[in-house]
Amino acid sequence: MIDAEKAKRALVTGGSGAIGAAICRVLAARGLQVIVHANNRLEAAEGLAAELRAGGAKAQAVAFDVTDRIDAARALGALVDESPIQVLVNNAGVHDDVPLAGMHGEQWDRVIGVSLTGFYNVTQPLLLPMIRTRWGRIVNISSVAGKEGNPNASSYSAAKAAVLGFTKSLGKELATKGVIVNAVTPATFESPILKGVPQAHIDYMRSRIPMDRLGTAAEIAAAVCWLASEECSFTTASTLDTSGGRTTY
């Protein structure tokens, strides 16, 4: 029987979305106390936290805007006052795909703000409390777009490429402090978001994946779960590809 009172605490940003929810479920199943983050979808986050508690886990929901440094610091400070967060999954992200020639500055700023600057705004306030415990796991959700680039997605590809550099740098920085930092790079995966995407585009994205299918949120969550575990003890500053073979470097 898992003792939830003694379990490590895990914060999953964007925890109310498809990938985030899958990550929350698998971490809870591994015995972690899960903090489900949302921005505008607090009701969904609270519903997921209630589901996890019903299954015997310890879970709560929290809402703040990762692009608002002051708001994020305030919310994270309140959480850390309770006890350190030792597992952080930087999953919150958005994309606004449009050719750069027609992209407004506000579109660029929003994608970079959530998908890159938000990683700093959440990670930095948690580092010293995590380091003091001499044990931590940070998993950053990047994308195959950060390795290869996607057409009409320069802002998203730029943010996700920067996340890979962020991961390598921070992983080396914290390597002797007991904190391990890695990233995962999903390709297109099955998601409710695809309901609004033309089938021809989905077929094109699938054709680029050697396994000839889309990934699932559960498969991405399984990779995150290992990177967040005790078993992941000699892997840091690295990227675990979860693209079905679309990219292998």
Both tokens of 163, joined, read 């996340």
Q: Has 156 been annotated as catalytic?
A: yes
Burial class of residue 21, CB neighbours in 10 A (0-12, 13-18, 19+): buried
Terminal CA-CA length for the chain: 41
Both tokens of 43, joined, read 């009701």
Give CA torsion, residues 167, 172, 173, 179, to 10 deg: 80
- Options 120, 156, 204, 249, the catalytic residue: 156
Let me know: does 102 contact 143? Beta carbons within 8 Å. Answer: no
Go through 191-230 and write b for each residue having 16 or more CB atoms within 10 A of its CB, e for each that does not: eeebeeeeeeeeeebeebbeeeebbbbebbbebbbbbbee
Let me know: does 93 contact 146? Beta carbons within 8 Å. Answer: no
Give CA torsion, residues 183, 113, 196, 218, to 10 deg: 20
Helix (H, G, I), strand (E, B) or coil at 117: helix
Cα gap 197→188, rounded to integer Å: 12
Question: What letter represents residue 67's amino acid?
Answer: T
Which residues are known catalytic residues? 156
